Chains A and B, each alone.
Chain A
Amino acid sequence: MVPAIQVEEVSKHYGALRALDEVSLEIAPGEFFGLLGPNGAGKTTLISILAGLAIATRGSARVMGFDVVSQYRDARRSLGVVPQELVFDPFFTVREALTFQSGYFGLRDNREWIEEVIHHLDLAEKAETNMRALSGGMKRRVLVAQALVHKPPVIVLDEPTAGVDVELRQALWRFIRRLNRDGHTIVLTTHYLEEAEALCGRIAMLKQGRIVALDTTLNLLRRHSGCYVELRLSPDQLPAALAPFVAQRHEGGYRLALRDYGEVERVIAELRAAHVEIQEMEVMRPDLEEIFVQIMKKA
């Protein structure tokens, strides 16, 4: 099967800056893929290369098997990009913007799908409103709609929920999930790691232009077998034997970082031996955010 996205040893240099350094990546059709990394890690550069907005210094990239340079027409038809910046054309209404975008991709009578996109993104009431008059959240919806008007098999969302209210975020994810169920490949960059954890089947983490982790979300979460224990004690005094485990001391309690669940037993035993009563206890597995921080530290 042809990969939805195939990136082979792609580098992008801006003078001395290596925005991307020999990045290789393959995303299968139908995946919900997360591209994570701190600011300046190269996520947007990688998306720009896929979309033809930037040209790789070295290496090659393909979308649905089409080279983004030599077969740029087919590659761009296969790709819908929601840009990170809140951009819009102030001359036109929402419906005009969508009709133009659809026409740019060579689609003549696309009214039915445009109406569907308008409906699902809750834009119907604003369809005849000039883009200038829309709120930030509404403009973001239009950006998503513009990326979808040509029904691309691969959809890239570059931080689509930045500065967006909860209601829109949920509506957006419902719609994107539906598209993914319908077979569209989704590539997502976001700073909200809980979103990535909930949505993405596989994740690549980038740091300074290099991929530092690439695995399924489940494997990434399992990779760190440790867990955290939140404790509230009476008296509020941790036995000395447990001091090496303290990850965080906060008001009224402790957070201990344990190597595995087996160590929970030892914590309880030490507390009992020291006659310290457990008032509250919560055992937590590390979330993607913790794992992200750990990977970024190590890389």
Chain B
Amino acid sequence: MTGFRTLFYKEWLRFWKVSVQTILAPVLTALLFLLVFAYSLRGHVEIFPGVDYAAFLVPGLAMMSVLQNAFANSSSSLMQSKMTGNIVFVLLPPFSHHEFFLAYLLAAIGRGLVVGVGVLAATIGFVEVRLEHPLWVIAFALAGSGVMGALGIIAGLYSSKVDELAAFQNFIILPLTFLSGVFYSIHSLPPFWRRLSLANPILYMVDGFRYGFFGQADVSPWLSLAIVGASFFALSLFTLWLIKIGYKLRH
């Protein structure tokens, strides 16, 4: 357990030491989104009855930040370690693949949650957001950041260059998070785009998370939780297998 705890703590400290870049910057980005969208569309859009658009945006933006930062943490840590060669310091010790996976995963979840809490905390006082089902909020924050943390590990293992990771981030993660209903309800989309959106697993994370705040959602929170939970389970198994065989880690 000491080995696992140390690796987790190292991964935690790694982002904490540069928190201006890893925590404050994403919180500021989310606030800018809120400022631009909420104030420009104020009074024009009402997605859930009785819910102000700015209030609708806050949980979506918080979840988007949670997901993007969970992914960024594990992927950049692994990729940078591989690029600089210091990955050798975690390959030489006697870590099992479970310990290796859990340490990177939990640190990714940790950063996601810290940024998410930061976004929510920063909006208190500006936007009034209800919190109807906190357990759903916690469940989706954990499961969603877990999925993205595991995906981050896969991307970090796969990428040997900054370019490869940037492609993963810009062409997969960013579009999927932006098109996951953070800024709108999928019911406002034309049927084709609505059906396409339903194939985006991140939609269920954002929608379920938002359900915890307003008690309203586009999809049943149980279905969302089942989809997110199954994705987490499958991705975790796949990631564990990659680590076990030493994919792009051990020759």
Contacts and interface: CB of A to CB of B under 8 A. Distances in A.
Interface string B78-90: 0001001110111
* Most chain A beta carbons < 10 A, residue from B13, B14, B89, B246: B89
A150 B81 CA distance: 22
Contacts, number: 81
A100 interface: yes
A77 interface: yes
Contacts of B94: 72-74, 76-77, 105-106
A290 interface: no
* Most chain B beta carbons < 10 A, residue from A14, A83, A85, A103: A103
B85 A76 contact: no
A140 to B, nearest CB: 14
A234 B94 CA distance: 67
Interface stretch (A51-59, A167-175, A201-209, A275-283): A51-59
Interface in A161-187: none
Nearest to A75: B94
B2 A106 contact: yes
Nearest to B16: A91
A103 B251 contact: no
Contacts of B36: none
Given A91-B14, A91-B17, A52 B91 contact: yes
B86 A87 contact: yes
B92 A76 contact: yes
A136 interface: no
Interface stretch (B3-11, B148-156, B159-167, B220-228): B3-11
A48 interface: yes
Contact of A103 (B3, B17, B84, B85): B3
Interface residues of B, number: 27
Interface in B105-162: none
Contacts of B81: 89
Contacts of A250: none
Given A72-B94, A91-B17, A146-B89, A105 B10 contact: no
A269 interface: no
B86 A105 contact: no
A108 interface: yes
Contact of B2 (A74, A77, A83, A107): A107
A40 interface: no
B97 to A, nearest CB: 11
B93 interface: yes
Contacts of A113: none
Contacts of A107: 2
Contact of A104 (B6, B13, B96): B6
A81 B89 CA distance: 10
Interface of B: 2-3, 5-7, 9-10, 13-14, 17-18, 81, 84-86, 88-96, 246, 250-251
Interface of A: 14, 48, 51-55, 72-74, 76-77, 79, 81, 83, 85, 87-92, 96-97, 100-101, 103-108, 146, 150
Given A73-B94, A83-B85, 20 more contacts: A14-B251, A48-B251, A51-B92, A54-B251, A73-B96, A76-B92, A77-B94, A83-B88, A85-B85, A87-B88, A89-B81, A91-B14, A91-B18, A101-B89, A103-B7, A104-B3, A104-B90, A106-B2, A106-B3, A150-B93
